[in-house]
Amino acid sequence: MPGRIIKWIDQRFPLTSFVKHELTDYPTPRNLSYWWNFGFLAGVVLMLQVVTGIFLAMHYRADISLSFDSIQHIMREVNYGWLLRYMHATGASAFFFVIFVHMARTLYYGSYRAPRELLWWTGQGLLLLLMATAFMGYLLPWGQMSYWGATVITNLFQATPFFGDQIVIWLRGDYTVGDATLTRFFALHYLFPFIIIGAVVIHLVALHTVKSSNPSGIDLAAKDNIPFHPYFTIKDLYGLGWFLIVYSVFVFFLPDSLIEPANNIPANPMQTPNHIVPEWYFLPFYAILRSVPNLVGGVVAMGLSVMMFAFMPFLDRSRIPGGAHYRPIFKIQFYLFLLDMLVLGYVGYTPPTNQTLLIGQIATLCYFGSFLLIPFISRIEERWLVRRGLPPAVIALMESEALTIEQRRLKHRRRGEQA
């Protein structure tokens, strides 16, 4: 009977062939390391956030006189409301952690290079959507940090030329962050995750067109690809087990470590907290904002710092495959970049002093420097590596790639002559 139903469907809709092509038989490089688990984990966290979020929304009140109390109602009176809220608040951090690792993996292995540029850019779009969603969600509990964080960040739009003030009022729906801001942030916080789901579908369509990269950086022959199921379904599930263990340690034993104490004080527009800090995942970007003494400059620098990742396919023109794997200088640069992110995070967290300001400014220069120097470094590095002698497999790949580039150029030229 089930067989007949499936047959009936298959005559009208490509169900079996889709599942076969995109899931069970989807060819996947057999040498993927555990760093390739994080994309799947991001999908799981997205689902966790949507499910816990929808249940929270059943008890949450988007009204400045009720929001803070409604969170306490959820924490104290709703059945397992504390679990929902802690899962959701911890889930936001888990989401960023997983996404940052996922991005670091891509940077390390150079997986943003041809033919995966579009895949990388859809990922960049997802990062922006995630940041917007988390920022708006953080206003909802209506604590001191919620209020002042939203005030500081919406204020940044004053830097817009000509319409600065109007844009700020338009975003807030009022002259200050208030009821109008809260209700619109709630509406959008509910909406954005579903836009994210749509963007994830696009991300996956792009992935399935160009297929996964792999640690060797060399496109593997068909014999080295294995079907996704059962090999990667089980590997992803095993990784998920580890993820859930760490996540549960935070949800059940350290839930408040990720909630700023000041956010347990109801928002008070009359009293600025002595130290406004964003959530940990925004700290490096916040540090860059504060490092530039001028508002417009700071906002531009912060916006650029998030968008720099999108330029990677243009900046890194090295033809050495495998990212940092075969590229010692790029590898050093990668680790220095991570270190710089940590320094920026520290600077973003501490109250500004002359000393941290200076450290922040140096770290900001290093941040942009580590992107803008890539074209020069990668060219020098490539020349040096070629002179030193590459592993034969890499040479073979580079030659085939050079050939395709040459062929592409020829094609262009021919087309040019015809026109």
The answer to whether 102 contacts ligand HEM (rule: CB under 6 A) is no
Contacting residue, 7, 21, 30, 383, with another protein by CB under 8 A: 30
Based on CB atoms, which residue is closest to another protein, 139 or 145? 145
Based on CB atoms, which residue is closest to ligand HEM, 92 or 301? 92
214: left (phi over 0), alpha (psi -120 to 50) or beta: beta
The answer to whether 374 contacts another protein (rule: CB under 8 A) is no
The answer to whether 207 contacts ligand HEM (rule: CB under 6 A) is no
The answer to whether 6 contacts another protein (rule: CB under 8 A) is no
Q: Are 156 and 292 in contact (CB under 8 A)?
A: no
| Rounded alpha-carbon distances, angstroms, from residue 336 to 124, 288, 330, 350, 371 | 22, 17, 10, 21, 12
Residue 20 site contact among another protein, ligand HEM, none (CB < 5 to 8 Å, cut-off depends on kind) = none
Residue 236 known to be catalytic = yes
The answer to whether 271 contacts another protein (rule: CB under 8 A) is no
221: Cβ contacts below 8 Å, ≥ 6 apart: none
Residue 89 site contact among another protein, ligand HEM, none (CB < 5 to 8 Å, cut-off depends on kind) = ligand HEM
Measured between alpha carbons, how far is 82 from 132 in angstroms, rounded to an integer? 25
Q: Are 68 and 267 in contact (CB under 8 A)?
A: yes
Under rule CB under 6 A, which residues in 32-71 are in contact with ligand HEM?
Answer: 46, 49-50, 53-54, 56-57, 60, 71
114: Cβ contacts below 8 Å, ≥ 6 apart: 313
The answer to whether 94 contacts ligand HEM (rule: CB under 6 A) is no
Q: What is the three-class DSSP state of 64? A: coil
Measured between alpha carbons, how far is 29 from 223 in angstroms, rounded to an integer? 9
Residue 63 known to be catalytic = no
Measured between alpha carbons, how far is 172 from 181 in angstroms, rounded to an integer? 5
The answer to whether 342 contacts another protein (rule: CB under 8 A) is yes
The tokens 């579908």 sit on which residue?
201
Residue 252 site contact among another protein, ligand HEM, none (CB < 5 to 8 Å, cut-off depends on kind) = another protein
The answer to whether 12 contacts another protein (rule: CB under 8 A) is no
Residue 238 site contact among ligand HEM, another protein, none (CB < 5 to 8 Å, cut-off depends on kind) = another protein
Based on CB atoms, which residue is closest to ligand HEM, 190 or 349? 190
First vs last C-alpha separation in the chain:
60
Stretch of 122-130, 232-240, 309-317, 358-366 lying at the interface with another protein (CB under 8 A): 232-240
Which of 228-234's residues contact partners 24+ apart within 8 Å by CB, and which partners? 228/23, 228/24, 228/25, 228/26, 228/27, 228/28, 229/23, 229/24, 229/25, 229/26, 231/28, 231/30, 232/28, 232/32
The answer to whether 259 contacts ligand HEM (rule: CB under 6 A) is yes
Based on CB atoms, which residue is closest to ligand HEM, 85 or 327? 85
How many residues touch another protein under the rule CB under 8 A: the total is 41
Residue 212 known to be catalytic = yes
Neighbours of 413 (CB within 10 A): 10
Residue type, 165: D
Question: Which residues contact another protein (rule: CB under 8 A)?
Answer: 30, 35, 72, 75-76, 82-83, 86, 104-105, 108, 226, 230-231, 234-235, 237-238, 241-242, 244-245, 248-249, 251-253, 255-256, 259, 261-262, 264-265, 335, 338-339, 342, 346, 349-350
Query: Catalytic site residues?
Result: 208, 212, 235-236, 279
